[in-house]
Amino acid sequence: MSQPQAPARIPQKDVGAKANVKRLLQRRSRIAAAGVTGGGIAEQAGVRGAASPSCGLPVAANTVVVATGARYRRLTARGIERFEGLGVHYAATLWEARTCRLDTVAVVGGGNSAGQAALFLARESPAVHLLVRGEDLGHNMSRYLIDRIEQNPRIHVRLHTEVQEVTGEDRVEAVVVRDNRTREQQVLEARALFVFIGARPATSWLVGAVTLDPRGFIPTGQDVAHVAADLWNPLGRAPLALETGLPGVFAVGDVRSGSVKRVASAVGEGAMAVRLAHEHLEEVRPPATR
């Protein structure tokens, strides 16, 4: 994170831009007003341009990178922890798909992430069981995904279905499921279980400070280009790739809307954000200090 800069040193290209720059600084200061308190950041609304960590020292910043991640809901089925990484996955990228590409797999969840994963895995897996606790897909999934799932002969949707147990020797071999109406149990052969039952981004401290999507994740780049044009106009540019709706504030990793949810991508985005933060600092730093 950069050293604090006095707001007065920010170049103001013309008189008309002054008010906008001031507004930008005021809004950014709400982010800077987040202090690290032990394992967390506590918002301190109303503090301008300074943060007060638990050690009591104020911190000011011209740029902020948010990397607070998301908390994934875990399945509580018997045996599941033993197989994490051995067939139980919380992401469905090419890497996971390769470990089970010619096998029957199961996906747990009734939302868009589960639907997208099922469609993606069905490109190679001969059968994908989509295990949904509720009574219909329409409750949490977009219509276009439901249509594609219903048209895909490899995807078998099982409603009212809950995972009871995951079994196998060295890796997942079967999933024991239960119909939550009849309580009838069934063993489904599956070489992998993909869990998509929700993730909660750690962004409660940012509410009202940066734009969040309906699920609380932070949109960046093109997704926020339309937000608060009055903040971007004085800068004469659109948001940078990982920049949030607030100029100079970046978001990386799981907390970012639409992110890949992988360690490697979080690390890559972190490195990229540092580069972009420097670009932003060049912009706000007065010529004498460049």
Ligand X SMILES: Cc1cc2nc3c(=O)[nH]c(=O)nc-3n(C[C@H](O)[C@H](O)[C@H](O)COP(=O)(O)OP(=O)(O)OC[C@H]3O[C@@H](n4cnc5c(N)ncnc54)[C@H](O)[C@@H]3O)c2cc1C
Indicate the helix (H) or strand (E) that contains 284.
helix 263-284
Contact partners, residue 253, CB within 8 Å, separation at least 6 = 67, 69, 259, 265, 266, 269, 270
- The HSE-up count of residue 52 (CA atoms within 13 Å, CB side) is 7
Pick between residue 85 and residue 138 the one whose CB is nearest to ligand X: 85
* Residues near ligand X (CB under 6 A), total: 22
How near is the Cβ of 6 to ligand X at its closest, in Å? 26
Pick between residue 85 and residue 286 the one whose CB is nearest to ligand X: 85
261 binds ligand X (CB under 6 A): yes
Alpha carbons 165 and 2: distance in angstroms, whole number: 49
117 binds ligand X (CB under 6 A): no
Structure tokens at 52: 């007060």
- Using CB under 6 A, which residues numbered 69 to 98 contact ligand X? 69, 72, 84-85, 90-91
Residue (of 189, 206, 285) closest to 250 by Cα position = 206
Which one of 50, 159, 202, 272 is in contact with ligand X (CB under 6 A)? Answer: 202
192 binds ligand X (CB under 6 A): no
- Please give the full DSSP string across 131-191, using - where no structure is assigned: E-SSS-GGGTS-HHHHHHHHH-TTEEEETTEEEEEEE-SSS--EEEEEETTT--EEEEE-S
Residue (of 22, 2, 4) closest to 12 by Cα position = 22
Pick between residue 91 and residue 176 the one whose CB is nearest to ligand X: 91
196 binds ligand X (CB under 6 A): no
254 binds ligand X (CB under 6 A): yes
171 binds ligand X (CB under 6 A): no
243 binds ligand X (CB under 6 A): no
Binding mask 18-57 for ligand X (x = CB under 6 A): ------------------x--xxx----------------
Pick between residue 75 and residue 137 the one whose CB is nearest to ligand X: 75
Alpha carbons 132 and 144: distance in angstroms, whole number: 17
**Strand 70-72 and strand 199-201: pairing?**
antiparallel
The residues binding ligand X (CB under 6 A) are 36, 39-41, 67-69, 72, 84-85, 90-91, 202, 205, 253-255, 261-264, 266
